[in-house]
Amino acid sequence: MLYALLWVALINVLPLLIAIAKPMGIQSTNSFRAKSERAWLWGWAWGTESTVSVVDRSPILSFPSRPAAFGAEINDPVLGYVIPLSSFTKPCTSNDMQVPDNSGCPSLCLSGPRHPTEAWIALVQRGKCEFVRKVREAQRLGARAVVVGGEDPEVTGNPDTLVNMYSPEDASDIKIASTYIKYSDYMQLYGLILASNTTHGGLSTLSLLITAEYSAWEWYSPIITFIVILLLPSALTFITLVIHRIRSARAAQRDRAPEDIVRNLPWRIWTGTGWEKHEAGEDADAFPDRVSSVDVDLERGVIYEELPQANDSPNSPEEDLNASTSNAEPLPDQPWFESQVECAICLSEFVKGDKVRVLPCHHIFHLHEVDEWLIHRKKLCPVCKADVTQPPPELVHPHPPVEHIVHDNDNTPVTERTPLLRTGSGEHS
């Protein structure tokens, strides 16, 4: 389909390029230019229009018309006396007693001594033969242009509208322009001619002016069409990429946790001996980071000192696991979060003054690191892949666990820390 459109555009552009490349030294006396047979497609697609005006009346009477897709283009206004062909011709094979119609179908012969001599425009009616045959016959009789009127809609059953005139055969021999008017306008124009006092060659006539409203567009439409065909794939590709980016952004937004949910998660501060609890919604930036009793800023050369506390201990979180904490209470059913000594994101051990965020799955991480991960990357816990936007599953114990105390041979309770092999006590399995 794309190659077909490119071929049609190339066919329409070539005559334009040839016309531009021609030298401008010699000008033709004919004000019309022959139109290619294939150019009728553009006139049909864009609906080019023209106007037929009676200029010897005040005010000027105008009728809308549509130029033919064959013959000459109406580049300049066409002025002449409009004369029905039936007023001075008749079919060559018809009986003299028969009233001739104004169909303009060949072959026509002169019916009397009166006939037009100067520039004149033929007026014919649609029917009985093709449009191209009517125009060719009017050209043979010396017409400068042809106005074709429509047929009676009450007889044909067709609507009284403008139609596109095209040729089913080769029309390269036609050098004059032609245009189509509606049946109602044709009958009005025909009646004005019969009632006119103006004569030409002894025939009643009117001064008619044919102007086209598409002459400028005809020069640019092939170029614009060619450019549109070239840019259409790029435009479609760009639109596809934009839609893909929008969908990807929406999908990534669904995979991230809302900032308000993340800020409302509880967080803690390691004090050196335990975890200092803070409720959800508290601003972590409002609490300064804790420093050790003697902390030296190597970049600024400042020494921070902190008064010793009664419960200060140099131990790490792992060493103080079993020690009593002053500000923290153990959470029910928490699996191992108080035994976690390092952040799974940066793989650094927690030190005194570190702020950590507690996720619903009870995993803890450095506060700013896990906030960055949840808000801008994924809403899942980096360790267990639990969704932080969903409430944690409640642990249900239908039957309370029964503690079974196992003793070894010397009545020492066996715990998880009891070694499997002990010296002097035998083997335990």
Q: Are residues 201 and 265 in the same domain?
A: no
- Of 314, 302, 329, which is closest to residue 271 (Cα–Cα)? 314
How much helix, strand and coil, in percent to the nearest 5, is found in the chain? 30, 20, 50
Cβ proximity of 72 and 78 under 8 Å: no
Please tell me whether residues 170 and 261 are part of one structural domain.
no
- 70 within some domain: yes
Q: Write out the two tokens for 336.
A: 């191992």
Contact 143, 121 (CB under 8 A): yes
Task: Please report whether residue 359 resides in a domain.
Answer: yes
pLDDT value at residue 56: 86
d(CA 132, CA 142): 15
- Identify the pLDDT of residue 411: 67
CA gap 182, 62 in Å, rounded: 12
228 located within any domain: no
* Rounded Cα–Cα distance for residues 272 and 88 (Å): 120
* Residue 403 CB partners (closer than 8 Å, separation 6+): none
Q: Tell me the pLDDT tens digit for each residue of 6-60.
A: 555 555 544 544 444 333 333 333 333 434 333 444 444 445 688 999 998 889 9
Q: Are residues 158 and 267 in the same domain?
A: no
Q: Give the number of domains in the chain.
A: 2
109 and 212 Cβ atoms separated by less than 8 Å: no
Are 276 and 268 in contact by the 8 Å Cβ rule? The answer is yes
pLDDT per residue rounded down to tens, the chain (429 residues): 544 555 555 555 445 444 443 333 333 333 334 343 334 444 444 456 889 999 988 899 999 999 999 999 888 899 999 999 999 998 887 665 555 689 999 888 888 888 888 889 999 999 999 999 999 999 999 999 999 999 999 999 999 999 999 999 999 999 999 999 999 999 999 999 999 999 988 899 999 999 986 544 555 567 778 888 889 999 999 999 999 999 999 988 888 888 888 888 888 888 877 778 877 667 766 676 554 444 444 444 444 444 344 344 445 444 444 443 434 444 455 445 667 788 889 988 888 888 898 888 888 899 889 999 998 888 899 988 889 888 876 644 445 555 555 555 666 676 666 777 766 544 444
Hey, what are 192's tokens?
A: 């004005």
* Cα atoms found within 13 Å of the Cα of residue 423, Cβ hemisphere only: 0
Shared-domain flag, residues 59 and 203: yes
Q: Convert the pLDDT of each residue in 272-327 to its tens digit.
A: 777 788 776 677 666 765 544 444 444 444 444 443 443 444 454 444 444 434 34
Q: Are residues 157 and 270 in the same domain?
A: no
**Residues 293, 305 contacting (CB under 8 angstroms):** yes
pLDDT recorded at residue 98? 58
Token code pair at residue 250: 């929406």
* One domain, residues 97 and 161: yes
Contact between 43 and 69 under an 8 Å Cβ cutoff? The reply is yes
Task: From 231, 214, 223, select the one nearest 46 (Cα to Cα).
Answer: 214
191 and 55 in a common domain: yes
Give domain status of residue 301, yes or no.
no
CATH of the domain at 364: 3.30.40.10
Which residue among 183, 199, 215 closes a domain? Answer: 215
CB-based contacts of 405: which residues, under 8 Å, 6+ apart?
A: 413, 414
Same domain, 86 and 204: yes
110 shares its domain with 198: yes
Question: What is the pLDDT, as a whole number, of residue 58?
Answer: 86
Using omega within 30 degrees of 0 as the cis cutoff, is the peptide bond preceding 59 cis?
Answer: yes
Tokens of 361: 């799955």
Distance between CA atoms of 366 and 354, rounded to whole angstroms?
Answer: 7
The reply to whether 382 and 264 lie within a common domain is: yes
Question: Is residue 294 a part of any domain in this protein?
Answer: no
Per-residue tokens: 305? 């000192």
Tell me the CATH number at 87.
Answer: 3.50.30.30
CA dist 380 and 129 (Å) reads 80
Are both 184 and 268 inside the same structural domain? no
Residues in CB range of 105: below 8 A, 6 or more apart: 91, 128, 129, 133, 134, 137
HSE toward the beta carbon, residue 386, CA cutoff 13 A: 14
**Alpha carbons 256 and 267: distance in angstroms, whole number:** 20
Q: Is residue 373 part of a domain?
A: yes
The predicted structure's pLDDT at residue 313: 45
Residue 115 lies in a domain: yes
Positive or negative: CA dihedral 376, 378, 383, 388: positive
**Quick count: other Cβ atoms within 10 Å of Cβ 388?**
22
Q: Do 88 and 160 reside in the same domain of the chain?
A: yes
> What does the alpha-carbon distance between residue 182 and residue 125 come to, in Å, rounded to a whole number?
10
* pTM to 2 decimal places: 0.46
- Decide if 83 is inside a domain: yes
| Structural domain span for residue 360 | 255-275+338-392
